[in-house]
Amino acid sequence: MPSHSVSPAIAELRERIAHLEGPGGRARSVLPFGLKDIDRRLPGGGLGLGCLHEVAGGGNGAVDGAAAALFTAGIAARTKGKVLWVVTRPDLFAPAIAQAGLAPDRVIHVEAGDEKALLACFEEGLRHGGLGAVVAETARLSMTASRRLQLAAESSNTIGLALRRWRRQTEAGDFGQPTASITRWRVSVLPSRPLPVPGLCRARWLVELIRCRAGESGDFEVEACDDTGRLALPSEVADRSPQKEIGRRIASG
Amino acid sequence: MAGRTGRRRLITALDANAERLGVRIGMAVTKAQALVPGLIIADSDPAAETEGLTKLALWALQRISPVVMADPPDGLVIDTTGADHLHGGEAAMLADMIKRFAASGVEARAAVADTWGAAHAAARFIARPAIIIPPGESEAMLRTLPLQALRLDPETVSGLITLGFETVGELLEQPRAPLALRFGPEIGRRLDQALGRIAEPVDPVRSPELIEARKVFGEPIGAAETIARYIAKLVDALCLELEKHGLGARRLDLLFHRVDNTMQYVRIGMAQPVRDPKRLTRLFRDKLETVDPGFGIEIMVLVAIETEPVREKQTISSLVEEPEPDVSDLVDVLANRVGDRMLCRFTPVQSDVPERSVARIPPLAPETGLTWEGDWPRPPRLLPRPEPVETMALLPDHPPVWFTWRGVRRRVRRADGPERIRGEWWKRDAELTTVRDYFRVEDETGERYWLFRSGDGEHEDSGSQRWFLHGIFG
């Protein structure tokens, strides 16, 4: 946020707002993505730690939530401490989460019977304060529920990740309803770059920052999480960079 | 087994073989011996049997529910209200119970019903090992059962049979007054108990070595805040007692005796032995909403059902090493909310078959430091069982050109594979030759799926050569 050319009146107002927001309102620590394009859009240069964030999949991803789960696992992998992962449908395959950088020792999985129990577990995890991140795969998230979760996250400085996932494609319109979360993301898959040989290269995602409190929204085309949970910007060079090619030629010659 | 009734020796218990040969309970020993030459007869020891039953009851008390009572000569009464969901539902609870009894050599039949009387009858007079009578259907079930199901004494039963009654239903149709005049009030009482019209309190077994704290109220209490306050006091008292013994609680029961002579209870479980009053009070407070005080609570009893020695740990005081935050209290809170089995950590298993490569371990198990080996990407969503898809693919090792899954046809743009996974012949003989070839395929929109062909595409015995979808990549 630009801090220059601020009149004393505005500075005073800011101070008062900060006072109203309570401790940690402004001086929140953040978790940067490590990609300048994305971090630039987020207030503080990264995902706020004591905040609730929403992630959903686009297209068929709204139902299977596969890309969204990896995106979320990548964020959780970069926090410190244990991670609580609450689900109602037990179809998460743990090896994939480990491949996104979230070691199996760090994740405690909870299978809640219904949405109500899931939200209760989510809130409990956020209030505890000893966890690195709490992930919950939820379909419904009302304004009231998300407000409670946001307050719980603020009180303990734990990052809350609501992975929105619906039973049917038609229910995904629910994602337009307002909630109290700080950011809202949609992750959709894109066709990957063709390789010169048969095979698949790193998956490519369209990550849309649909809503961001005190920040701008934006679309980013990124390459999927690597084994430490980091995204990457796709290189636009056709096959591989010429620099590398020259280096290899020298090495082999 | 033979026992003495007055001056007659009667058969009191028998095994399945004897029953097949025609021996029946209640038969005179001499008659049984005449019927089956070489019958092995042992004298029954009622005192030892009662003792054994009490031991079983104490075991059930620790495993299943806080309110358990021995029902001599051959039964256990367990109040499972509010305990079944912790065992995965009533059916799973019964199956588990019967299996555990069978493992210790006891053949048991179990039934769940609205009332003690109905469950007693169903367990003994319906020839199935596990019976669940849905709420409100006890009466219909009871009507078809014979008179013996009502827990009446044998003289009354034989008197009723002389009068021409056979089933409970026929007895229910009759006016009560003449029956009471002839046989006394017992018949009406048993009928009402079985139908739940009058209460039949269960007096739970207790072992003298259990540590407990107790509070009797002069005036019955009912307000939630009052109950919460006394819970805190009881927990404090119990924790002091636990500290004296150097123990921590793994399982606690809080029993509320109500003024109408019924009982309510709350049970909490801990992943590690705990004797921190704050934590325990918190766990009880979460469950308080499930307690119905009715007209008031007279007595509250807090019992430590399972205890373990507590090992005190030194906290890390170094400035360099940051202490790992303790999450055991959170695990306890969640386990008591959603059930113990719903919490887990996943750990790798040495198996290439995807669905076998993951095992569940308790959330607080020591860290293994293991992770899954291999560079092949795994999908974040694995279908509970592989779903068949229609495909067109070149044999033997080409990925499909297109496939149809759940009615949607997708063209495969790019693919990677095959990753060949062989059957584990040391697990099942049938897997000796089976093969699965896994492919990662990407369709036109960029969605990636995990398909496999059952079989190697060449040999008939390696599988059905059909295609399945097993997972979805992100």
Instruction: Give pLDDT tens digits for B121-154.
Output: 888 888 788 888 888 888 888 888 888 888 888 8
Cis peptide before B396 (omega within 30 of 0): yes
What average pLDDT does this structure show over A156-183?
90
**Last residue in a domain, options B160, B195, B230:** B195
Lowest mean pLDDT among B48-62, B229-243, B310-324, B402-416: B310-324
Query: A247 touching B, CB under 8 A?
Result: no
Cis peptide before B293 (omega within 30 of 0): no
Three-state SS at B405: strand
Three-class DSSP labels, B47-63 = HHHHHHHHHHHHHHHHH
Mutate to test the interface with B, among A75, A110, A197 (most CBs of B within 10 A): A110
pLDDT above 50 for B183 = yes
Q: Judge: A121–B383 Cβ closer than 8 Å, yes or no.
A: no
Looking at this protein, which amino acid is placed at residue A241? S
Q: What pLDDT, in 10s, does the model give residues B363-387?
A: 888 888 888 888 889 999 999 999 9
Q: Is residue B348 part of a domain?
A: no
Q: Residues 6 or more apart from B29 whose CB is under 8 A from it? A: B2, B9, B10, B11, B41
Q: What pLDDT, in 10s, does the model give residues B388-408?
A: 999 988 877 888 999 999 899
Q: What pLDDT, in 10s, does the model give residues A56-106?
A: 998 888 888 999 999 999 999 999 889 999 999 889 999 999 999 999 999
pLDDT for residue B458: 82
**Last residue in a domain, options B257, B285, B309:** B309
CA distance A208 to A187: 6
**DSSP β-bridge partners for residue A164:** A56, A138
pLDDT for residue B72: 74
C-alpha to C-alpha distances, B213 to A20, A249, B216, B240, B258, nearest whole angstrom: 47, 81, 10, 10, 17
Instruction: Tell me: do B101 and B181 sit in the same domain.
Output: yes
- Are B32 and B39 within 8 A, CB to CB? yes
| Residue of B326, B342, B379 lying closest to A93 (CB–CB) | B379
Q: What pLDDT, in 10s, does the model give residues B86-116?
A: 677 788 888 888 888 888 877 888 888 888 8
User: Which of the four pLDDT bands, split at 50, 70 and 90, describes residue B198?
Assistant: confident
Mutate to test the interface with A, among B330, B345, B372 (most CBs of A within 10 A): B330
Give the pair of three-digit tokens for residue B19.
């029953």
Mean pLDDT, chain B, whole residue set: 84
Instruction: Tell me: do B149 and B258 sit in the same domain.
Output: no
Q: Of B126, B127, B138, nearest to B172 (Cα)?
A: B138
CB atoms inside a 10 Å sphere around CB B217: 15
**Last residue in a domain, options B169, B195, B221:** B195
Provide the number of structural domains found in chain B: 4
Q: Judge: B474–A124 Cβ closer than 8 Å, yes or no.
A: no
- Are B277 and B302 within 8 A, CB to CB? no
Three-state SS at A196: coil
User: Which of the four pLDDT bands, split at 50, 70 and 90, describes residue A251?
Assistant: low
Residues from chain A that touch B343, judged by Cβ atoms under 8 A, are: 108-111
pLDDT above 80 for B13 = no
pLDDT above 60 for A109 = yes
Query: A71 touching B, CB under 8 A?
Result: yes
Instruction: Tell me: do B461 and B388 sit in the same domain.
Output: yes
Q: Is residue A56 part of a domain?
A: yes
Residues from chain B that touch A60, judged by Cβ atoms under 8 A, are: 447
Q: Residues 6 or more apart from A174 whose CB is under 8 A from it? A: A139, A140, A164, A166
pLDDT for residue B321: 64
- In total, chain A counts a number of residues equal to 253
Q: Is residue A17 part of a domain?
A: no
Residues from chain B that touch A73, judged by Cβ atoms under 8 A, are: 380
DSSP state of B146: B
Instruction: Tell me: do B404 and B428 sit in the same domain.
Output: yes
Residue with the larger pLDDT of the pair B86 and B189: B189
Query: A89 touching B, CB under 8 A?
Result: no
CA distance B192 to B168: 12
Residues from chain A that touch B368, judged by Cβ atoms under 8 A, are: 104-105
Strand B343-348 and strand A107-111: the pairing is: antiparallel
Return left, alpha or beta for B151; rule: phi > 0 is left, psi -120 to 50 is alpha, else beta: left
Give the pair of three-digit tokens for residue A23.
């401790």
C-alpha to C-alpha distances, A8 to A11, A12, A21, B57, nearest whole angstrom: 5, 6, 20, 76
pLDDT for residue B84: 72
Query: B407 touching A, CB under 8 A?
Result: no
CA distance A61 to B472: 10
Residues from chain B that touch A95, judged by Cβ atoms under 8 A, are: 348, 354, 357-358, 372, 378
Number of cross-chain residue pairs from A and B with Cβ atoms under 8 Å apart: 162
Q: Judge: B324–A81 Cβ closer than 8 Å, yes or no.
A: yes
Query: A227 touching B, CB under 8 A?
Result: no
CATH at B283: 3.30.1490.100
pLDDT for residue A249: 52
Q: Is residue A214 part of a domain?
A: yes
Q: Concatenate the DSSP letters of all residues of A109-133 into one string.
A: EEE-SSHHHHHHHHHHHHHH---SE
Search chain A and give the residue with CA nearest B378.
Answer: A96
pLDDT above 70 for A242 = no
Query: B377 touching A, CB under 8 A?
Result: yes
CA distance A23 to A7: 24
Query: A63 touching B, CB under 8 A?
Result: no
Determine the distance in angstroms separating the CA of A101 from the nearest CA of chain B, rounded to an integer: 10
Domain of A210? 27-252
Q: Of B462, B456, B366, B472, nearest to B420 (Cα)?
A: B456
Three-state SS at B260: coil
Give the pair of three-digit tokens for residue B253.
């029961």
- Are B374 and B403 within 8 A, CB to CB? no
Provide the number of structural domains found in chain A: 1
Three-state SS at A193: coil
pLDDT for residue A215: 83
Q: What pLDDT, in 10s, does the model give residues B240-249?
A: 988 888 888 8
C-alpha to C-alpha distances, A119 to A63, A85, A91, A108, A161, nearest whole angstrom: 19, 12, 19, 16, 12
Q: Is residue B23 part of a domain?
A: yes
Mutate to test the interface with B, among A80, A200, A205 (most CBs of B within 10 A): A200
Q: Is residue A203 part of a domain?
A: yes
User: Which of the four pLDDT bands, split at 50, 70 and 90, describes residue A134?
Assistant: very high
Rg (CA), chain A: 20
Instruction: Tell me: do B39 and B117 sit in the same domain.
Output: no
Q: Of B345, B340, B334, nearest to B368 (Cα)?
A: B345
Instruction: Tell me: do B93 and B173 sit in the same domain.
Output: yes
Q: What percent of chain A has pLDDT over 90?
A: 46
Q: Is residue B389 part of a domain?
A: yes
CA distance B27 to B42: 15
pLDDT for residue B251: 85
Query: B384 touching A, CB under 8 A?
Result: yes
Q: Is residue B376 part of a domain?
A: no
Rg (CA), chain B: 30
pLDDT for residue B4: 62
User: Which of the four pLDDT bands, split at 50, 70 and 90, describes residue A253?
Assistant: very low
Instruction: Tell me: do B93 and B190 sit in the same domain.
Output: yes
Q: Is residue A1 part of a domain?
A: no
Query: A204 touching B, CB under 8 A?
Result: yes
Determine the distance in angstroms separating the CA of A171 from the nearest CA of chain B, rounded to an integer: 18
Query: B362 touching A, CB under 8 A?
Result: no
Q: What pLDDT, in 10s, does the model give residues B151-177?
A: 888 888 888 888 888 888 888 888 888
pLDDT for residue A238: 45
> Which residues 308-347 of chain B have a CB within 8 Å of chain A?
324-327, 329-331, 333-334, 337-339, 342-347
Residues from chain B that touch A66, judged by Cβ atoms under 8 A, are: 379-381, 472-474
CA distance B205 to B222: 26
ipTM score assigned to the predicted complex: 0.83
pLDDT for residue A244: 53
Q: Of B381, B348, B342, nearest to B363 (Cα)?
A: B342
CATH at A217: 3.40.50.300
Determine the distance in angstroms separating the CA of A99 from the nearest CA of chain B, rounded to an integer: 7
pLDDT for residue A125: 93
Q: Is residue A70 part of a domain?
A: yes
Q: How many helices (H) and strands (E) does chain A have?
A: 8, 10
> Which residues 158-177 of chain B have a CB within 8 Å of chain A?
none
Mutate to test the interface with A, among B346, B360, B421 (most CBs of A within 10 A): B346
Q: What percent of chain B has pLDDT over 90?
A: 15
CA distance B127 to B399: 54
CA distance A97 to B253: 38
Instruction: Tell me: do B58 and B191 sit in the same domain.
Output: yes
What average pLDDT does this structure show over B168-191?
86
Q: Is residue A159 part of a domain?
A: yes
Query: A94 touching B, CB under 8 A?
Result: yes
> Which residues 118-177 of chain A have a CB within 8 Å of chain B?
120-121, 124-125, 128-131
Q: Judge: B447–A189 Cβ closer than 8 Å, yes or no.
A: yes
User: Which of the four pLDDT bands, split at 50, 70 and 90, describes residue A23?
Assistant: low
Lowest mean pLDDT among A101-115, A204-218, B309-323: B309-323
Q: Is residue A16 part of a domain?
A: no
pLDDT for residue A226: 87
Determine the distance in angstroms separating the CA of A91 from the nearest CA of chain B, rounded to an integer: 6
What average pLDDT does this structure show over B31-51?
80
Lowest mean pLDDT among A247-251, B118-122, B231-235, B390-394: A247-251
Instruction: Tell me: do B238 and B144 sit in the same domain.
Output: no
Q: Is residue B358 part of a domain?
A: no
Domain of B21? 2-44
